[in-house]
């Protein structure tokens, strides 16, 4: 992928104006891809974007709780033909819980760590998500965004990895990647990674085990109580289907954030942190009600510039980034089924140095090589 460089003199001056005079001479031109640093971009964002606001944070949490409660009331009173709407609303509101926990994981909800940990565990509990397991793994994604063989969030499958997998895994991967099953992706990520402390460094395991214990105890109380009072249909109606809607949005957000035919995953030797965060993170607009319920998680570029920016300041930060660094940014998307079709059809395997390709193209290339 070739990243466009700031070319106009006006843009060059506006960017250089934010670099301190004491900055090393050899790095004084941030319009050079190799010298661009994340701190250049961070310095250009208004300081107020990094400031936590307790009123906004707690009000957002309270509104989210009320909206989830409203969703469950609608599930109780809605006639059968309106249940799909109630499931979609409730599951999307539950996604808002995740986004609040996401702020807690990045310590941008509160200045007190114990508050972040407590709120994070509470909002993750209904999703059966171990908070610290997610937090530790997710922070790794931010440190290695779009770095080939390092990033752990929607990392593309390379042909050599696909070919070296067992027949069963190749079949599963091909079905998943070609049949537009992206919306199940976060379920696999959740199940395979977050409940095994051995997936994490030893120093992190005590906290990982604590979070697993929290959701285990919650599950041991919640699910039997739900089944006893409402039956198996109640379990499906009140938890499984809203949970699937939540995972639809989780999978969609995280997939679209960093996936496009022209988004590159670079080897560590070529990887530039600032370029990866600016050009490898994509802004996508969703229906307004989705963005509201999900606390603007779709405004993702500023979050990758600095995780210290709370969700309620993302839009202000993004306006600043667009103004100062717009030529580095990927084209914006608008969520639609045609967008998802285009992405899932084109982005199935990833060839180092070439980019994404479909299974059809990959298999055609294999046949052509054999016939030579």
Q: What is the pLDDT along the chain (372 residues), one digit of tens a residue?
A: 333 333 333 333 333 333 333 223 233 344 455 678 999 999 999 999 999 999 999 999 999 999 999 999 999 999 999 999 999 999 999 999 999 999 999 999 999 999 999 999 999 999 999 999 999 999 999 999 999 999 988 889 999 999 999 999 999 999 999 999 999 999 999 999 999 999 999 999 999 999 999 999 999 999 999 999 999 999 999 999 999 999 999 999 999 999 999 999 999 999 999 999 999 999 999 999 999 999 999 999 999 999 999 999 999 999 999 999 999 999 999 999 999 999 999 999 999 888 999 999 998 888 877 765
Q: Which residue, among 106, 130, 105, 150, has the nearest Cα to 206 in the 3D structure? A: 130
Integer Rg of the chain from CA: 22
Please state the φ and ψ torsions of residue 337, each to the nearest 5 degrees: -65, -30
What's the Cα-to-Cα distance from 26 to each of 23, 35, 164, 299, 324, rounded to whole Å? 9, 8, 44, 33, 21
At 182 the pLDDT is: 94
Burial (Cβ within 10 Å: 0-12, 13-18, ≥19) of residue 54: exposed
Report the distance separating Cα 309 and Cα 196, nearest Å. Answer: 30
Question: Do the Cβ atoms of 13 and 28 come closer than 8 Å?
Answer: no
Specify the pLDDT at position 35.
Answer: 79
Q: How many of the other CB atoms lie within 10 Å of CB of 22?
A: 5
Look at residue 33 in the predicted model and tell me its pLDDT: 57
How far, in Å, CA of 4 to CA of 23, rounded? 24
pLDDT score at 18: 32
- Can you give 279-335 as a three-state secondary structure string? HCCCCEECCHHHHHHCCCCCCCHHHHHCCCCCHHHHHHHHHHHHHHHHHHCCCCEEC
Beta strands at 284-285 and 333-334: parallel, antiparallel or unpaired: parallel
């Amino acid at each position: 992928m070739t990243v466009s460089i700031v070319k106009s003199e006006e843009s060059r001056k506006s960017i250089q104006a934010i670099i301190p005079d004491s900055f090393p001479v050899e790095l004084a031109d941030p319009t050079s891809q190799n010298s661009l640093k994340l701190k250049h971009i961070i310095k250009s964002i208004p300081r107020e974007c990094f400031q936590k606001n307790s009123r906004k944070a707690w009000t957002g949490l309270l509104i989210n709780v009320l909206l989830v409660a409203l969703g469950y009331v609608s599930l109780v009173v809605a006639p059968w033909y309106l249940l799909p709407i109630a499931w979609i609303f409730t599951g999307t509101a539950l996604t808002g819980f995740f986004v609040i926990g996401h702020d807690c994981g990045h310590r941008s909800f509160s200045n007190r760590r114990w508050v972040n940990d407590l709120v994070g565990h509470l909002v993750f509990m209904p999703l059966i998500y171990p908070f610290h397991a997610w937090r530790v793994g997710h922070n790794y994604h931010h440190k290695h965004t779009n770095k080939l063989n390092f990033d752990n969030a929607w990392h593309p499958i390379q042909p050599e990895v696909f070919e070296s997998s067992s027949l069963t895994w190749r079949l599963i991967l091909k079905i998943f990647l070609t049949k537009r099953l992206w919306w199940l992706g976060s379920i696999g990520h959740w199940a395979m990674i977050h409940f095994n402390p051995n997936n994490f460094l030893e120093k992190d395991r005590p906290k990982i085990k604590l979070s697993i214990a929290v959701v285990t105890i919650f599950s041991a109380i919640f699910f039997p109580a739900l089944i006893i009072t409402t039956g198996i249909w109640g379990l499906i109606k009140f938890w499984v289907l809203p949970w699937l809607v939540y995972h639809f949005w989780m999978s969609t957000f995280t997939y679209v954030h960093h996936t496009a035919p022209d988004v590159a995953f670079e080897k560590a030797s070529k990887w530039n942190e600032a370029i990866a965060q600016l050009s490898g993170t994509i802004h996508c607009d969703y229906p307004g009600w989705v963005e509201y319920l999900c606390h603007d998680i779709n405004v993702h570029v500023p979050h990758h510039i600095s995780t210290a920016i709370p969700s309620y300041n993302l839009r202000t930060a993004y306006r600043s980034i667009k103004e100062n660094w717009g030529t580095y940014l990927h084209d914006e998307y608008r969520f639609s089924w045609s967008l998802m079709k285009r992405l899932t059809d084109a982005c199935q395997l990833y060839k180092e140095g070439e980019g994404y390709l479909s299974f059809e193209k990959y298999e055609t290339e294999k046949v052509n090589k054999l016939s030579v």
